[in-house]
Amino acid sequence: MAKIEAADAAALPGLAQEAAQAGLTLAWAEAAADRPSAEALSSFAAIWHPADEALASSWARAAEAMEAPLPDDVADAAKRHTRRQRKRDKARRAPAGSPLVDAWLGSPVLLRVRCEACGRDACHEVGTALFDPSEAVTDAATLHLGVYVPFILACPFCDAEDDYSLSISSAQEIATRAAAAARMRRDFPVRVGKAGLADGTAIRRPSEGLRILRARAEEQGGGERWRALGNFALRAGRADEALEAFERGAEDPAELACALAVAAEALGREDGEPGPLVARAVSRVPLAEEKWRPQLCAEVAEALRKLLPRTEKPLRLRMVGRRGAATVDVRAIKDWARLGELLAISVEASLTFDDVPAAELDRAAGVL
């Protein structure tokens, strides 16, 4: 830091890479904006990352002073930084509960991090974060210990995952937002909370949670453990890993949620034949846990509705309840919410693709 403060305009460009490796990119950028040179503008280009709005803002100041052109993407990033700063400053001056404060506390957070693997600085915009005051002390340099970001952050330069240190300014931003949300007793995206798995196991990074849950699923098996891994992977931004976990979980014949997740993914693709996967989910409806059955059955009904335009085959749904059985033509169903309710009280359900004679279709399933 002392080198940067003491350097003149001619010496500053030579300190750019050293500052980036030391996590002092912003300090260097501010100095270069105050003491601009043509060489400094070239150094900005060498260390800038497209998501780094703060660096773009300093670059814009230096370019303006040198009357030099600014790349369009840098100019756009600088404008976003200015707008973000103005909104934050207005929100901090506004009284609690005002729309400005709500907008600030509900907006994404721009995190500045330093990759521990390659030493480069980068920025990531995240929508949610937790702050645990018990893990942080009053010293600003240790606030980052209380921050949990639920998404796996990958370095844009070396692809290292979740191997970063959070800047003091970003940690302060999260701590400030979390404290404000706690005072207002509102459930904002950035809030006070402790990161952990469902069984209470504490974690500091989502990649750690994935490793723990994957080990449990592989060692102990069972649809429930694969489902836990899939749900966590989705929250961590790992859709491919989530699908793999759901597919493994769906191998358990008693697991509806995983089978439904696999069917929903197939329905979201333009290729493939999702019918058999939807039929598998339908057959597991009676096995759903009681507390989750209404929600899961509503999702099964939605999967059936989405299946209609994907196949020209006949779709016959048979439901067996405590008061009897009914076979209905899925294409004739109008009330999908009611279908979910009927599935929830079924003790047996199946979907077939056979052309059942009309006389055998139960029109009294009626309200559908």
Whole-number CA gyration radius for the chain: 27
Domain ranges of the chain: 2-87, 104-192, 201-248, 253-365
pLDDT value at residue 367: 47
Per-residue pLDDT of the chain (368 residues; tens, 9 = 90+): 566 666 666 676 676 776 666 656 777 677 777 777 777 777 777 776 776 777 778 778 877 777 778 788 888 888 887 777 776 666 565 565 667 677 767 888 888 888 889 888 888 889 899 999 887 665 566 777 889 999 999 998 899 999 998 887 788 889 888 888 888 877 788 999 999 999 999 999 999 999 999 999 999 999 999 999 999 999 999 999 999 999 999 999 999 999 999 999 999 998 889 999 999 999 999 988 889 999 999 999 999 999 999 998 899 999 998 888 888 999 999 999 999 999 999 999 999 997 765 545 555 445 45
Q: Measured between alpha carbons, how far apart are the two ends of the chain, in Å? A: 72
**Does the CA dihedral 233-235-238-242 come out positive or negative?**
positive
pLDDT value at residue 59: 73
pLDDT value at residue 330: 93
Tell me if 210 sits within 8 A of 238, measured CB to CB.
yes
The per-residue DSSP string of 169-214 comes to HHHHHHHHHHHHHHHHT---SEEE---B-TT--B-SSHHHHHHHHH
pLDDT value at residue 196: 92
The letter for the amino acid at 10 is A
pLDDT value at residue 22: 61
As separate numbers, helices (DSSP H) first and strands (DSSP E) second, the chain gives 15, 9
pLDDT value at residue 145: 83
Q: How far, in Å, CA of 62 to CA of 361, rounded?
A: 76
